[in-house]
Chain A
Amino acid sequence: MSILAAGYQGRLDRRRYFERTLGTLAALGILYWLGINFAKSPSQFFQASLIGLSNGVLYALIALGYTLVYGIIELINFAHGDLFMLGAVFSANFMSIWFGKNHSGVVGWGFFFACLLAVMTFCGGLNVVIERFAYRRLRRAPKLAPLITAVGVSFILQFIGLRWNGSGQKTWNSMLPKGAIEISNVKIPYTTILSFVITVPLLLLMSWIVTRTRQGKAMRATAQDQDAARLMGINVNRTISFTFALGGALAGAAGLLFQQTRGLTSYNLGYQLGLIAFTSAVMGGIGNLQGAVLGALLIGLIQGLNDGLPIGLGQQWSQTVVFSILILLMAFKPTGLLGKTVTEKV
Chain B
Amino acid sequence: MSALLEVQGLQVAYGSILAVKDVSLTVNEGEIVTLIGSNGAGKSTTLRTISGLLKPKAGTITFNGERIDGKEGHEIVAKGLCQSPEGRRIFPRMSVRENLDLGAFLRTDKAAIEVDRERVLELFPRLRERIEQKGGTMSGGEQQMLAVARAMMGAPKLLLLDEPSMGLAPVLVDMIFETIVKIREQGITILLIEQNAAAALDVADRAYVLESGTIKMSGKASDLAKDEAVTKAYLGG
Contacts and interface: CB of A to CB of B under 8 A. Distances in A.
B136 A221 contact: no
Given A224-B94, A231-B77, A235-B72, A346 B85 contact: no
B85 A224 contact: no
A229 B139 CA distance: 21
Contacts of B103: 232
B101 A217 contact: yes
Contacts of A232: 77, 102-103, 105-106, 150, 154
B89 A228 contact: yes
B157 interface: no
B137 interface: yes
B85 A231 contact: yes
A249 B144 CA distance: 39
A40 to B, nearest CB: 46
Contacts, number: 77
B45 to A, nearest CB: 13
Contact of B73 (A224, A231, A345): A231
Contacts of B90: 228
Contacts of B51: 230-231
A244 to B, nearest CB: 19
Interface residues of B, number: 32
A346 B136 contact: yes
Interface in B113-168: 134, 136-137, 139-140, 143, 150-151, 154
Interface centre among B89, B94, B140, B151 (most CB of A within 10 A): B89
Contact of A346 (B52, B98, B102, B140): B140
B91 interface: yes
Given A221-B94, A227-B89, 6 more contacts: A232-B105, A232-B154, A236-B74, A344-B93, A344-B137, A346-B139
A345 B140 CA distance: 10
Interface string A35-49: 000000000000000
12 contacts: A221-B94, A225-B89, A225-B91, A227-B85, A228-B85, A229-B102, A230-B51, A230-B52, A231-B82, A231-B83, A231-B89, A233-B105
Nearest to A235: B74
Contacts of B140: 346
Given A217-B105, A344-B136, A233 B91 contact: no
Residue with the greatest number of chain A CB neighbours at <10 A, chosen from B91, B137, B154: B91
A233 B108 CA distance: 13
A230 B89 CA distance: 11
A126 interface: no
Contacts of B102: 217, 221, 229, 232, 234
Interface of A, helix, strand, loop or mixed by DSSP: helix
A228 B86 CA distance: 10
A187 interface: no
Contacts of B73: 227, 230-231, 233, 236
A333 interface: no
B136 A233 contact: no
Given A220-B94, A224-B92, A344-B92, A230 B74 contact: yes
B149 to A, nearest CB: 13
A227 B93 CA distance: 16
Contacts of A345: 92, 136
A221 B140 CA distance: 20
A218 interface: yes
A124 B140 CA distance: 41
B3 to A, nearest CB: 23
A210 to B, nearest CB: 13
Interface in A217-260: 217-218, 220-221, 224-225, 227-236
Contact of A221 (B52, B78, B91): B91
Nearest to A217: B102
* Best-buried of B77, B105, B154 by chain A (most CB within 10 Å): B105
Interface in B5-41: none
A208 B51 CA distance: 32
Contacts of B94: 220-221, 224
A196 B85 CA distance: 46
B53 interface: yes
Nearest to A343: B136
A214 B93 CA distance: 17
Contacts of A344: 92-93, 134, 136-137
Contacts of A228: 85, 89-91
Contacts of B143: 346
